[in-house]
Amino acid sequence: MKLIKAVRGTKDIFGDEGIKYDYITRTAQEFFGNYGYSMIKTPIFEETDLFKRGVGEGTDIVEKEMYTFQDRGERSITLRPEGTAAVVRCYLENKIYAKEEVSRYFYAGSMFRYERPQAGRQREFNQIGVEVLGESSPILDAEVIAMGYSFLSKIGVTDLEVTINSVGEKESRQRYRETLLNFLEPMREELCDDCKMRMEKNPLRVLDCKVDKCKELTADAPIITDSLSVEEKAHYEIVKKYLTLFNVKYKEDPRLVRGLDYYSSTVYEIVTNKLGSQGTVLGGGRYDNLLKQLGDKEIPAFGFAAGVERIMMLLGEDFPKRELDVYIAWLGEATMDSAFKLANDLRLFGKSVVIDYASKGMKAHMKKADRVGAKNVIIIGEDEMNKGVVMLKDFINRTQEEVSIENIKNILK
C-alpha cells in the first residue's frame, strides 16, 4: 500500500522539535504578557476580500501565493497568509476601539502561502506575532521593536541585525513614487519582467527585487526618507532615539519596503545571515491606514510577526529539553495497583510521571527510565509495599533511599 505523505511545503513537528516549538511559543506568550499583551485567536480562514483589501492586490502574497477556494456555500475563502488583517477585522467587527483606548494582542499559529518551498520557507508555516491598536506614539514603535529583539535574545537567538526605515504616509509615498518612476523610466527595458510589472503596480517593490541586474541598476535610486514630511521625519527620529535608549543596535536601510501594502511610517526587519536567503526572522511596522481601509476608522496600529520555523532552525539543539520528574518501576503483579495509584497521585500533585503498563524486570525498568530521561525512579517491590515504603532512586546522582509512600510527595518537592 502506498503511504500518504505530508503535502509538499508542509512539515510535521514532533519529538524534540515539538518541545522546541512549545518552548518558543510559551516563552513568547509569557514574555509579551509582561508588556500587557493578551492572546487573540482568529479563524484560520477568512473571506478572500479581507486579504485583497488588507494585504493589497499588487503584492506577491495576494497575486500568487494565496490558498483560495470556493466553499460549499459558493463563498470565496482564503487560508490566512498572515495574521494582521484578521486581527484588524476582529477589532473592527467587535468594536473593541469603543471599549479600550489601546489594545495589545499576541498570537501564534499557522499561516499559508503558496511559495516555492526551501529551507526556512514553507507553504504552511507558523508565526508568533503582536499587534497594538490605538496608539500613535513613536515610542511604541521603538518599544515593540525592542521587545521582539529582546525576546529573540532571551530564547537564545543571537547575531541578529535590526534594519529600519520609514516609508511615510500616503502623500509622501505618492511623492516618492513619482520621483522613483522618473528614475526608473529610462532603465525600464533592462529591468526584469517582475520589476516591469512592479513599476505599474507598486514601484517601491522594485527596490526589493532580488535579481542582481535590477539591484545594480537601482543602486543609486532616490531614497524614500528624502520624501518624508517634517512630521514623519520627526516621528522617525524619535523611534531611533528610543531604540538607542533601549540598547537596540539598528541599521537604517532606506530600501526596506516590506512585502505588504498596509505599512506607513516605520517598517523594520530583524535578520540573520545564518539562514541563507530566508534570513528575515521577524518583520513588521506601523499600519495606520489599514483600519481606514478595512473599516473607515482613523486608528493607528503597529505590530510584527516572526517565523517560528526560522527561530527553531536558529536555536538548533540549544533549548531546554523537558525533564521527567519520575519513572515508576513496579515489580510483580501484586504491586501494580499501588504503583498506578501512586502515579495518579503524583501527577495530580503536579509531577510528571511515566509508568509502564506491562510487568518488567529491574534491568528493563532502568533502561526505560534512562530512555525517557527520568530524574527520579521510584521502585515498588512487594515486600517494601507491604511495609508502606518504596525505594527512591535519584537517577542523576545515582543515590537511593527508602522512603514511606506517605512522605514521597514532600521528598520530591
Binding to ligand HAM by CB under 6 A, coded x per residue (else -) over 218-257, reads ----------------------------------------
Q: Using CB under 6 A, which of the segments 38-46, 91-99, 244-252, 299-307 binds ligand HAM?
A: 299-307
Cell of 196: 516591469
Which of 17, 63, 115, 356 lies at the binding interface for ligand HAM (CB under 6 A)?
Answer: 115
Q: Should residue 305 be labelled a site residue for ligand HAM when binding is judged by CB under 6 A?
A: yes
Q: Should residue 129 be labelled a site residue for ligand HAM when binding is judged by CB under 6 A?
A: yes
- Strands 266-271 and 161-166 come out as antiparallel
Q: Which is nearer to ligand HAM, 111 or 184 (CB)?
A: 111
DSSP letter, residue 358: S
Q: How many residues bind ligand HAM (CB under 6 A)?
A: 27
For residue 54, which of 296, 300, 285, 293 has the smallest C-alpha distance?
Answer: 293
Binding to ligand HAM by CB under 6 A, coded x per residue (else -) over 53-92, reads -----------------------------xxx--------
Sign of CA dihedral 214, 215, 217, 220: positive
Which of 56, 148, 283, 381 lies at the binding interface for ligand HAM (CB under 6 A)?
Answer: 283
Q: Should residue 121 be labelled a site residue for ligand HAM when binding is judged by CB under 6 A?
A: yes
> What is the side-by-side strand order in the sheet with 45-47?
45-47, 76-79, 67-70
Q: Coil, strand or helix: which one is 120?
A: coil
Question: Shortest gap between Cβ of 131 and ligand HAM (angstroms)?
Answer: 5
Distance from C-alpha of 248 to C-alpha of 31, rounded to nearest angstrom: 17
Q: Should residue 309 be labelled a site residue for ligand HAM when binding is judged by CB under 6 A?
A: yes
Question: Shortest gap between Cβ of 130 and ligand HAM (angstroms)?
Answer: 7
Helices H / strands E in the chain, number of each: 15, 16
Q: Should residue 52 be labelled a site residue for ligand HAM when binding is judged by CB under 6 A?
A: no
Cell of 269: 526587519
Distance from C-alpha of 158 to C-alpha of 78, rounded to nearest angstrom: 35
Give me the amino acid identity at 258: R
Question: Shortest gap between Cβ of 214 and ligand HAM (angstroms)?
Answer: 20
Q: Should residue 268 be labelled a site residue for ligand HAM when binding is judged by CB under 6 A?
A: no
Q: Should residue 148 be labelled a site residue for ligand HAM when binding is judged by CB under 6 A?
A: no
DSSP letter, residue 64: I
Show the DSSP H helices in 80-220 as ranges: 84-93, 138-155, 170-184, 193-201, 212-217
**In whole angstroms, what separates CA 76 from the centre of its chain?**
27
Positions that interact with ligand HAM (CB under 6 A)? 82-84, 113, 115, 121-122, 125, 127, 129, 131, 259-260, 280-285, 287, 303-307, 309-310
